[in-house]
Amino acid sequence: MIDIQPHNVRVYGVLLRAGRVLIAAEAVFGRDILKFPGGGVETGETPEQALVREFMEEGNLAVTPAYLLHVPGTLFSPWTHSEYTPIYYRVHGDGALRTPDHEKIELIFMEPDKAMTSGRMAAPEILALKRALRGEDTL
């Protein structure tokens, strides 16, 4: 039996605190974008393990995946001009953020409406955030 995995699986976490959402602001191929903390799922990792690792790497923040928010399937990124398969989770975590100097992102808590109407957030992120704000999961 052949184990077929989607290409470029990415996992992201939606962390809400005091009515704000944790946003990763970064430049991707010359575009300033807003996304959630997260990144690639490495060989041998589950998406949940990758998410916990990515939050620790990007913000020195321990999180617990709470529930699945959105799995839109394999998409074509207008920013990177490549396919990716994003998975969005609602996560819980507290503690102070501390982004290492080598990370090329800025982690900030932002008003959800400001993030969604910025023109810098992709449609799958907006849908995941709306579901998190309503307390919905994909089940």
Structural domain for 45, as ranges: 9-134
Judge whether 29 and 103 are in contact, CB under 8 Å: no
The answer to whether residue 62 sits within a structural domain is: yes
The answer to whether residue 68 sits within a structural domain is: yes
| Per-residue pLDDT, 138 | 53
Nearest to 107 by CA among 54, 65, 70, 68: 54
Question: How many domains in the chain?
Answer: 1
More confidently predicted of 82 and 116: 116
Q: Decide the pairing of beta strands 83-92 and 105-110.
A: unpaired
| Per-residue pLDDT, 40 | 94
pLDDT digits (tens, 9 = 90+) for 48-69: 999 999 999 999 999 999 999 9
The answer to whether residue 35 sits within a structural domain is: yes
Please state, as a whole number, how many other Cβ atoms lie within 10 Å of the Cβ of residue 6: 13
pLDDT digits (tens, 9 = 90+) for 101-112: 888 889 999 999
Compute the Cα dihedral for 96, 99, 101, 105 and give only its sign.
Answer: negative
The answer to whether residue 139 sits within a structural domain is: no
Q: What is the CATH number of the domain that holds 31?
A: 3.90.79.10
